[in-house]
Structure 1
Amino acid sequence: MSLTFGLTGMDPATETALKVAFAEANQRLGGIWQLLPDTQGDFIAVDMDSMYGPMSWLRLHAAGKTVIGLTSAPRTQADFRLAQPFDAGSVVQLLNELVPRPEGSVADAAAGTATPSPAGLTPAPQPQDELPEEHPQPVDEASTAQATEEVGNSPREPASVAVAQVVPAAPSLQPHTPPAADPEPGTLAEWLASGRVKGRVKLERDGVVLLIDTEQRQYHGPGALKPLSPHVGSVLKSDDFATVADWDAQAAAQGAAQPLARLVWFGGLLAGNGTLMPGFDPQARYQMLKWPQTEREYPKHFRIATAMMKGPATLAEIAEASGVPVAEVTDFVNASLATGFADIEHPPEPEADAPKSGGLFGRLRGR
């Protein structure tokens, strides 16, 4: 089994902090893990609380990757969960969950003889999974200082492995820098979800200009979404993105900034063409987690959302309740899944057995 770890769909500060925590956790486990770009790693951490997280999860899930959801929520739709906030100790526990090491054998894990725990299940603590404070590691002050500078804040725990030793993340666009040479083409949503577009870039299609600021998570462009269909619905290459020298002037000409999540939603709407995105069951029941902001260009979406707010239902049931064709319902569900407004119905957690009543009245009822 290849012990390779990647991360995507998160802001730069979170990404750097997780790299520091992973580096120290990996050292404690004997250096058996390798940090790779998300397209090459087998286990990928995704910030499910970020704007790009749900779309990243969809992409990786469809690619057959094992996804770790970084989240402050008590549960996640990903295969495994890393609680936010995290530190090196919690990353150690996560890596042991991904590839348990029977009898504490680092060699077995490196050789791939261990079996991963089932998705969504947390194995019982084992003796070798000792807390970090029980076995403090010697601190390399130079490496700790370097790691601290990378994060920009005081580290949660001393990092004894410099961040520079970690394999760099996938090529990405830096502010005011064109994309790296010949990355894999994809839709705009895929470019954003993978983190390959960063900073301020310009995308022009069919004479319509779209300015994207990933740091501020906003864009400047037409007020309506449909004119942006060529930008969002087509496959893009690196040279489709251009740097912007006079950003302020061009942004002012395009009008007020709009949330980038709106483009992610639109990308999800166009992604399936009437069919569910890969990894989702057309016969499953889908539920709306919160009320979305519907667009005036799509008046039927109000009826679909109203029907979904009543409870989990299949695509056919939602179409019947809303009076909207199944294909349009499916597109709306795709968009809602991509932005975290909707999810598949999860079976309820089993309730614990109620404690038996004691005392006189309990004994009387038991007769």
Structure 2
Amino acid sequence: MPLTLGLTGMDPATESALQTAFKVANAQLGGHWTLVQEQQADFVVVDMDSMYGPMSWLRLHASGKAVVALTAAQRTQADYLLTHPFSADSLVRLLGEIATHSGQSLPTPAPAPVAPATVQIPQQPRTDPTAALPDVVVELLQTDLARAKAAVAQQAATAAIPATRAPVAAAPIAAPAAPAVPATPPPAAASAPAFPVAPAVVAPATAAVSVSPSVPTITVSGDGMLDWLVPGRLRGLLRVGSGNERILIDADHRKYHGPAALKPLSGLFDRGFAPAEFELLPAAQWDSAAVQLGAPMPLTRLVWFGNLLAGRGRLAPGHDPHRRYRMTKWPQTEREYPKHFRIATVMMKAPATLAEIAEASGVTESEVADFINANLATGFAEPEGDPTPAEPAKSGGLFGRLRGR
């Protein structure tokens, strides 16, 4: 009886590379495996490091499917593990192991005439949460883009401010614009995710303006990194930091280049930054430096990380720990924080308080608070209404029934 394998919860590049590796591995095993659609497969490979991998795992686990976790982690809760990056050889070992557990004996893999090349998948850039915005929000952002271009053109006519690319849509924050760049906040700003806000300056020489106190913020005193990451605050191709904390910021396209891990960058969020510390790079120098640091990643990933650190175990000001919070969609969980998968799973089921989430996920309330802060700032979580007060007990007995008439 042939064994069937399916693929799900992964980006097209990973799926294509996995199909190629499967063909090589299956040929060495005598062609006993068949690659089919997820619904018809006995075993399904899920990319647990992708945006939708964890949700796919939950769905398949609930339906009783045997799951193979494709992940860079050394252990998993799935039935089988395929370590990332993978190769045809590692897939041969996996398929042989599954066949043995299924009671089937496969022939010893025949040596290939030419050793198959290792199928390496480069680390994919994190998915930008704004890619899933509704069409109406996209239209509003496009309108604001036109306004931003007009403002930049007006500013360029009066002052020589270097810029290599046109700015993208303005921040989804209801914050006043700088005097040097007048712009009207977009109509959708009131309902957009509450990123940390800061004095909205476009160039270091522009004067700062105040921010509405109604927006909850957590920032380092002075111009901390979170303040500088507000959309519209920086422009152009910039380099900031030093050593292992050095990053490149493409402010106009909301991307950055830096270490794949986040924890080495924690020092960037512990202090303030002067405008002169952001070095504007020529395009040629930028391209060379960017190649050395790897693929670009969305700047919202740094916003997420900064808010994760900023609360230090407490919810951001303006958010009640006794309210219930829920996930609006599955977030990109980081490998450096394995407990976040458990927290997100609990919050996807139903709104809950910090204490309820901590008890259900088996983590501390401070870890839950930090996780909620990060996802409130990036639009993946939102607060629900206050808990419904308990209904007063009705008096019983004869007199109680008489009074109730």
**Larger RCO of the pair (alpha carbons < 8 Å, separation 6+):** 1
Give the TM-score normalised by structure 1: 0.49
Structure number, greater radius of gyration: 2
Give the TM-score normalised by structure 2: 0.45
